[in-house]
């Protein structure tokens, strides 16, 4: 038979080919939609990685590393519930998404381990079947509205350890403290880390934080530190001057494991290990001040 002079198509073992595509998808999540078009087998391998970090927002601001989806696209994917249940581990939901539609998506993502929910509108399905959830960022409005009706239950969010409460809509004054906050907080048995972002502290809230023995780390976002602050001598408390938008910090934590939580934990450990004195209360969320202070001690 006469040779055509053309080399045969290269063939890789399927397990090696799959490994290559999965590594490429994890390294370049925004390229996954292109990978989906290569072949059906490639689509089967990398589509779950596409939804590992699921961001639903009206624009891509703060999310340069990951594709951003509209709610309409994700609602179509709910027809295959196993895909989202088995794939989604990190979920970000923007405040512009209608809460009625959010509920359907939240129910489908039952194995999520970190959730950022910035809408002030509560979804009654927000905390159903969330046994895997460990990190939660949520507006204080939605947190109180979702958990107060469930105050008779003691099995909600059994594995949640890190909670950030946002008051980006300036409505905390509508709730009486500490009752409206303390009851929902009491429903989280394993809570160890609490952050207050944009929330004004009054005497009731400060007392609530002081007496909560579960908390190992309390992060208070602020522009400056008053040395006479009633919590300034509590070695669990770290004041953080926030430079990055919380969206950027959320993504950084997923990508590297380094976020203001890890910085605060390192700061507390250094202070307890006598590498810092109690007069050091404050860090920048980019870690530069922490590194500078540690290098001087």
Sheet holding 217-221, edge to edge: 53-56, 90-93, 114-117, 135-139, 162-166, 193-197, 217-221, 237-241, 282-284
Q: Which sequence spans correspond to the domains of the chain?
A: 13-50, 51-166+177-184
* 265 closest CA partner among 193, 190, 212, 159: 193
Scanning the structure block, which residue is given the tokens 């939605």? 142
pLDDT for 294: 41
Confidence check: pLDDT of 60 > 50: yes
For the packed helices 14-27 and 40-50, what is the interaxial angle rounded to 10 degrees? Answer: 40
Q: Burial of 158 by CB count in 10 Å (0-12 exposed, 13-18 middle, 19+ buried)?
A: middle
* 176 closest CA partner among 204, 196, 195, 207: 204
Structure tokens belonging to residue 204: 């009731």
pLDDT for 21: 95
Scanning the structure block, which residue is given the tokens 């996954």? 32
Scanning the structure block, which residue is given the tokens 């669990």? 236
- Which residue would you say has higher pLDDT here, 278 or 91? 91
Confidence check: pLDDT of 82 > 80: yes
Using an 8 Å Cβ cutoff, are 234 and 271 in contact? Answer: no
pLDDT for 138: 87
Predicted structure pTM score: 0.84
Model confidence pLDDT, tens digit, residues 117-153: 877 666 666 776 678 899 999 888 778 877 766 555 6
d(CA 190, CA 242) in angstroms, rounded, equals 26
Confidence check: pLDDT of 297 > 50: no
- Which residue would you say has higher pLDDT here, 96 or 213? 213
- Look over the chain and give the mean of its residue pLDDT values, rounded to a whole number: 78
Question: What average pLDDT score do residues 53-63 get?
Answer: 83
Instruction: Return the sign of the alpha-carbon dihedral for residues 267, 269, 271, 274.
Output: negative
Using an 8 Å Cβ cutoff, are 159 and 131 in contact? Answer: yes
Question: What average pLDDT score do residues 24-44 get?
Answer: 94
The CB density around residue 262, as the number of other CB atoms within 10 Å, is 14
112-119 own/partner pairs: CB under 8 Å, 24+ apart: 112/88, 113/89, 114/89, 114/90, 114/250, 114/253, 114/254, 115/90, 115/91, 116/91, 116/92, 116/246, 116/247, 116/250, 117/93, 117/142, 118/93, 118/94, 118/166, 118/168, 119/93, 119/94, 119/95
- Which residue would you say has higher pLDDT here, 199 or 40? 40
Confidence check: pLDDT of 77 > 70: yes
- Longest Cα–Cα distance of the chain, Å, equals 92
Model confidence pLDDT, tens digit, residues 230-250: 777 788 888 887 777 778 888
Confidence check: pLDDT of 295 > 50: no
d(CA 168, CA 63) in angstroms, rounded, equals 19
d(CA 142, CA 184) in angstroms, rounded, equals 11
pLDDT for 290: 46
In the structure, what pLDDT confidence band is assigned to residue 289 with cuts at 50, 70 and 90? very low
In the structure, what pLDDT confidence band is assigned to residue 4 with cuts at 50, 70 and 90? low
- Which residue would you say has higher pLDDT here, 284 or 16? 16
For the packed helices 260-272 and 288-295, what is the interaxial angle rounded to 10 degrees? Answer: 20
pLDDT > 90: percent of the chain: 26
């Amino acid at each position: 038979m006469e040779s055509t002079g053309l080399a045969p198509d290269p063939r890789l073992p399927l397990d090696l080919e799959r490994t290559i595509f999965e590594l490429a998808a994890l390294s370049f999540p925004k390229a996954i939609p292109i990978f989906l078009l290569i072949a059906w087998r490639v689509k089967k391998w990398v589509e779950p990685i596409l939804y590992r970090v699921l961001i639903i927002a009206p624009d891509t601001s703060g999310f340069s590393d990951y594709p951003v989806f509209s709610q309409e696209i994700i609602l179509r994917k709910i027809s295959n519930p196993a895909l989202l249940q088995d794939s989604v581990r990190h979920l970000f939901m923007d405040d512009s998404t209608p809460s009625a539609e959010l509920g359907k998506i939240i129910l489908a993502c039952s194995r999520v381990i970190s959730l950022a929910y910035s809408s002030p509108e509560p979804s009654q399905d927000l905390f159903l079947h969330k046994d895997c959830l460990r990190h939660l960022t949520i507006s204080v409005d939605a947190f109180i509205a979702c958990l107060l009706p469930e105050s008779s239950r003691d099995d909600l969010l059994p594995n949640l350890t890190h909670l950030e409460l946002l008051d980006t809509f300036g409505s905390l004054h509508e709730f009486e403290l500490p009752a409206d906050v303390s009851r929902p907080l009491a429903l989280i048995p394993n809570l160890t880390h609490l952050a207050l972002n944009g929330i004004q502290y009054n005497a009731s809230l400060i007392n609530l934080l002081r007496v909560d023995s579960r908390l190992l780390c309390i992060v208070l976002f602020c522009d400056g530190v008053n040395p006479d602050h009633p919590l300034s001598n509590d070695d669990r408390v770290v004041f953080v001057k926030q430079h990055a938008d919380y969206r950027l910090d959320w993504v950084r934590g997923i990508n590297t494991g380094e976020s203001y939580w890890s910085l605060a934990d390192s700061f507390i450990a250094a202070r307890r290990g006598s590498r810092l004195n109690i007069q050091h209360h404050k860090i920048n969320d980019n870690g530069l001040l922490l590194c500078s202070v540690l290098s001087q001690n």
